[in-house]
Amino acid sequence: MARAAKEREIILEVIGPGIMITLYGVRVEGDKWRFLLDKDEGTMADFLLEEDADLLPKLRTKSEYVDTWDKALALLDRYPWTWFVPKEVHPEFRDLIWSAVQAREPKQAEGRKRHAYEEWKRFLGLDPAWCRTKQAN
């Protein structure tokens, strides 16, 4: 009897200008995971000229699977992912993702970086004032 393929789960999904980055995970056993990064810049296809049609496959790329969280972060770090809008975070990875955001976007940052830091706090439910407001609505 053939074993069913393990399903990919979204670990992190972020959206930036013209790009969506999704880090998928596959649970391989117990608490061990393998990770794959999917980068989709398909919205940029509308801006390509006909003679640039050979670039279309490059707008959607997937990495090879990696087997550690540090390697998964290295895949993400090819892009300024902490500046992008978080769309989905796997509950089991919330704390790891928050630690990674903090390491990349210091709390004392100013301007756009400060805004990104605060947006991540709100999205992950780490801003008590915002959470109270959200619950009241």
Q: Where are the domains of the chain?
A: 9-136
pTM (2 d.p.)? 0.76
Whether the Cβ atoms of residue 52 and residue 58 lie closer than 8 Å to each other: no
Q: Report pLDDT digits (tens) over 48-95.
A: 556 665 665 566 678 899 999 999 999 999 999 998 989 999 999 999
Distance CA 118, CA 35 (A): 27
Whether the Cβ atoms of residue 37 and residue 62 lie closer than 8 Å to each other: yes
Provide the 8-state DSSP code for 8: P
Does 109 have pLDDT greater than 90? no
Q: Report pLDDT digits (tens) over 117-135.
A: 788 888 898 865 544 444 4
Whole-Å CA distances, 14 to 74, 132, 137: 15, 25, 25
